[in-house]
Amino acid sequence: MSLDAVTLAVLRGRLERIADEMDATLFRSAFNPIIAEAHDACHGLYHAATGATLVQGTSGLPIFVGAMAFAVKAVIDTVPAERVAPGQTYLFNDPYAGGTHLNDFRLVRPVFRDGALFCWLASVGHWLDFGGNVAGGFNPRAVDSCQEGVRIPPVLFADRDGIRADIAAILAANSRTPDANWGDLNGQLNALDLGEARLADLFAEYGAGVVREALDALSARADKMMRAHIAALPDGHYAVEDYLDGDGVDDRPLTIRLDMVVAGERLSLDFSRTDAACRGPLNIARATAIAAVYVALKHVFADVPANSGVLAPIDIVIAPGSLLAAEAPRPVGGYTETVLRVIDTVFAAVGLADPSRAQGNPYATINALSLTGERSAAEGGKRWVMFCFFGGGLGASRHGDGLSHGNNPISTAVIPPLEILEASYPVLFRQWALREGSGGAGTHRGGLGAIYEIETLTDAEVSLLGERGRFPPKGANGGGPAALNRFLVETEAGFVAPPGVSKATGLALPAGRAVRIESPGGGGWGDPAGRDPQAAARDRALGYTKA
């Protein structure tokens, strides 16, 4: 059988829509604003035998999609094939088995057709809290994964008889926010139910054989398109490096080094010279590093279908024991920061090979902020935990200025609206504004970061895990760097920066005082002397810059 182009396009749209509907189902039913509002979740379809990505949605986090192939493979490797049956759902959060960090819970379900396993459906969502020393899970002082939360290996959580109440009880007992987690868990189960029903409708309309042929054709198309893009790059060796402020435990920079080699239709990305694993939580597992490469390449070559074919012509080399190949019990809670720096190095290497694709660095830190305290007696005195991430500026390119107050390349997530955060937690936003002058100068200016000033209405404890406090986002093709990240805590003497620059934990914040994040902008592109005078005048008129 050979699919015609129209049928293939229709099936691609239908399959992507299934993943999109699964995303929407969870977003609309989750209890946790990080999923419901920020969309820190993802769904997809995965290969029955290998776990390779078949289809991802357009609204889920790309970094999750890249890592989920390894998560599904972890279930395949853990559960004997003869024990896999219709109606089962496996649950886990193990960051070393296709996970990212302990807050991100994976649910994986087999889909059968005519008695045979056809594919896997998977859902991942960021739960608000799951144990560990720091409420919300982002512990910048962790030296062991046990200090970050509770690690759950792949376990059978549900079957046709329903969910396992004993496992649900374990999940509830190990969280400061069991009600929120329970709501998110049910939202993920509902998303899998919907995905299974939509696939059944598609099988009934086209037949499982046609759907399988479409999935194979889409993977082959992604492989072919990636080879064409690689072949268009000049053959050669391109070396880049970038830095992390420190791991939160040892006050020294960490270096990620990439040697990219283009040879015809194949691309080698060699991270062997990257620093060894650190004591603090900025390590990432090898699967997470490969997922970061996937995300970076999909940004650069956006027209390629999002499936495992993207990586088919890519050789990825990661040294065992390095920062990018963590094994248990190395802490990995700050994985977002390291992933973002991996993406920066891939962007920079491609920009060296093809300057027309060069772009300034994005702000490249999520500024993971955790606030926790107890509500007033009138509100029941219950513990509250607010976790949030924040925006910043994106890099400029030959096409124009960078986007101000955007989201990082690892995600399509949105920053939760302040109205939702204020309604959900005892906090008050004093300020939420663009940060003047934070974008890198250039022919095209980097996007602006933002200022967030958040007052707590009860006594609270504060933790932050961020980056770019010592090494600013770089410009490209002569463009200037962006402003550094700044984190400040209000004291009797005014706002002061904690010693860790971009990381802090266990800071006491009395009611009525605030924390302030001043996020970086994006790097500039091109010689600043070449900027259009009218564009510069507009920047000054709008208060984007003073000069």
The pLDDT score that the predictor gives to residue 436 is 97
Residue 304's pLDDT is 93
Residue 307 lies in a domain: no
- Does the bond joining 499 to the residue before it have cis omega, within 30 degrees of 0? no
> Domain range for residue 453?
358-547
| Residues lower than pLDDT 50 in the chain | none
CB of 139 within 8 A of CB of 133? Answer: yes
In a domain? residue 351: no
- In this structure, is the dihedral angle defined by the CA atoms of residues 306, 12, 42 and 485, taken in order, positive or negative? positive
Last residue of a domain, one of 194, 223, 252: 223
Average pLDDT in the chain = 95
Domain boundary, last residue among 223, 257, 273: 223
Q: Please measure the distance between the N-terminal and C-terminal CA atoms of the chain and give it in whole angstroms.
A: 64
Q: Which residues of 474-506 are buried (b: 16+ CB within 10 A; e: fewer)?
A: bbbbbbbbbbbbbbbbbeeeeeeebebbbbbbe
Residue 410: the pLDDT is 82
**Is position 306 within any domain?**
no
Give the model's pLDDT for residue 547: 64
Residue 507 placed within a domain: yes
363 and 216 fall within a common domain = no
According to DSSP, residue 9 is labeled H
CA 370 distance to own-chain centroid: 17
SS3 221: helix
Distances (CA, A) of 285 to 96, 279, 282, 381: 6, 14, 10, 39
- Is residue 329 domain-resident? no
Distance of CA 96 to the CA centre of its chain: 16
Query: For residues 420 and 210, what is the distance between their CA atoms, to the nearest angstrom?
Result: 44
pLDDT at residue number 413: 61
Domain presence at residue 59: yes
In a domain, 295, yes or no: no
Residues 6+ apart with CB under 8 A from 538: none
Give CA–CA dist 36/24, Å, rounded.
9
Q: In angstroms, how far apart are the furthest CA atoms of the chain?
A: 75
Question: How far is it, in rounded angstroms, from Cα 518 to Cα 403?
Answer: 16
Helix (H) or strand (E) holding 262: strand 254-263
For the entire predicted model, the pTM comes to 0.95
Residues 364 and 217 in one domain: no
Q: How many CA atoms lie within 13 A of 448 on its CB side?
A: 13
Length of the chain: 547
For residue 48, what pLDDT is reported?
Answer: 97
Q: Is residue 88 part of a domain?
A: yes
Question: Does residue 195 sit in the same domain as residue 50?
Answer: yes
> For strand 503-509 and strand 53-56, is the pairing parallel, antiparallel, or unpaired?
unpaired
Structure confidence by residue, pLDDT tens digits, 379-432: 888 899 999 999 999 999 999 999 999 988 887 667 888 999 999 999 999 999
Which of 206, 223, 240 represents a domain boundary (last residue)?
A: 223
Tally of domains in the chain: 2
pLDDT at 511: 97
